[in-house]
Chains A and B, each alone.
Chain A
């Protein structure tokens, strides 16, 4: 453990700006409500949800999960390198985080296009209404996350890893991990969970 990590551990503070955590908790509370609504709908109409879920391509969901988790791992490395004071490596990991993260967008667009080509849209039925709504709102979070990463890259390029930038990187990293976490939840709930618990 580096001195910086050790110091952080000893202070017991959450990484990044405390205010960002308020945003993240509020956002996750909103997604928790999304999940409850989806589960309630699934409970009401298991047959509809089962038939609709069969039209989802789990390969896209799995690929997106791996992309975001890998990108998240790079982000974690970027935070560690920033705390260690290595600006060049931090920058490299931030660029890698963004490059891998961008694959999520490509994969998501391909998945949406395949759905539209199959005649599936947001108003097809309740399941697909929620599928497009929840993954669409998550997609907006991803777009904002990419914007945040670009800001972080510009800041590190301009002024290295000073105390202010470390706070920015920790805050941005926390947000990016939230994007990962929400996707993992969405993937499990929409793509994998068998409606009604029966095959």
Chain B
């Protein structure tokens, strides 16, 4: 049997795996609900509407974004734990595992930076003109949407890696791998977002927001479920592929 790693701290693996769900929970509650981002204010709204959002909800947005920034790193922690399972599929230091880990790690950056724009807008909104607050809001949304490709790298690498699992019962079922590739690929629709201020592809639109974010929100629970099952099998002594 090929020894993949001497690291048998499976409890830590499991804790890191749960970070995917921690990230999603925090993201939905603090970034989404508390930050008034579900759904976003439309790209076609007047600057005064965006300015009033910051002024009327300053404390909520500050708290929401501060917590979001604190927990953004959970996404990277989750990705590293997925990498541990991928080691057992692909062998140590495989390029697809590295791509998955880096993709998850880099996903943290746009979440951190865009959250900091919302936080900046809410920091002293009474002292800033409406157009500056609108600019910050636009910057935040443009960054968080258009940085999709780093997360696509994680998802496509995970799917491609999982498909190489030759076990009779693979750690990640084939449909999960293809789902991962599909989600990573379909994020490309985000590229259309800067062209629209209203309609389905605008930041508040049915495609750009509701569908793209929904498939992202259900991605982490699906992957985490199979990841935890895989860790259990590895802990029980299942050899590397």
Contacts and interface: CB of A to CB of B under 8 A. Distances in A.
A37 B207 contact: yes
29 contacts: A19-B163, A19-B174, A19-B178, A20-B178, A22-B174, A22-B182, A23-B178, A23-B182, A26-B179, A26-B182, A26-B186, A27-B182, A27-B186, A30-B186, A30-B211, A33-B206, A37-B206, A41-B199, A122-B192, A123-B195, A129-B195, A129-B196, A129-B199, A130-B199, A133-B189, A136-B192, A137-B188, A140-B188, A144-B185
Interface string B172-214: 0011011101100110110010011001110000110001000
A17, A23, A34 — which one has the most chain B CB atoms within 10 A of its CB?
A23
Nearest to A126: B199
A87 B226 CA distance: 39
A18 interface: yes
Interface string A6-37: 00000000000111101100110010011001
A126 B192 CA distance: 13
B186, B200, B206, B207 — which one has the most chain A CB atoms within 10 A of its CB?
B200
Contacts, number: 53
Interface of B: 163, 174-175, 177-179, 181-182, 185-186, 188-189, 192, 195-196, 199-201, 206-207, 211
A30 B191 CA distance: 16
Contacts of A137: 188-189
Instruction: Bin the interface of chain A by size.
Output: 20 to 34
Interface of A: 17-20, 22-23, 26-27, 30, 33-34, 37, 41, 122-123, 126, 129-130, 133, 136-137, 140, 144
A144 to B, nearest CB: 8
Q: Which secondary structure dominates where chain B touches chain A? A: helix
A41 B200 CA distance: 10
A22 B179 contact: yes
A133 to B, nearest CB: 5
A19 B201 contact: no
A108 B77 CA distance: 43
B160 to A, nearest CB: 11
B175 A22 contact: yes
Contacts of A37: 200, 206-207
A144 B186 CA distance: 13
B190 to A, nearest CB: 11
A129 B201 contact: yes
A123 B196 CA distance: 7
Nearest to B189: A137
A17, A129, A136, A144 — which one has the most chain B CB atoms within 10 A of its CB?
A129
B200 to A, nearest CB: 5
Instruction: Return the 7 tightest CB-CB contacts between A and B, nearest first.
Output: A19-B174, A23-B178, A22-B175, A19-B178, A22-B178, A37-B200, A26-B182
Contacts of B192: 122, 133, 136
A18 B185 CA distance: 19
A187 to B, nearest CB: 20
Nearest to B195: A122
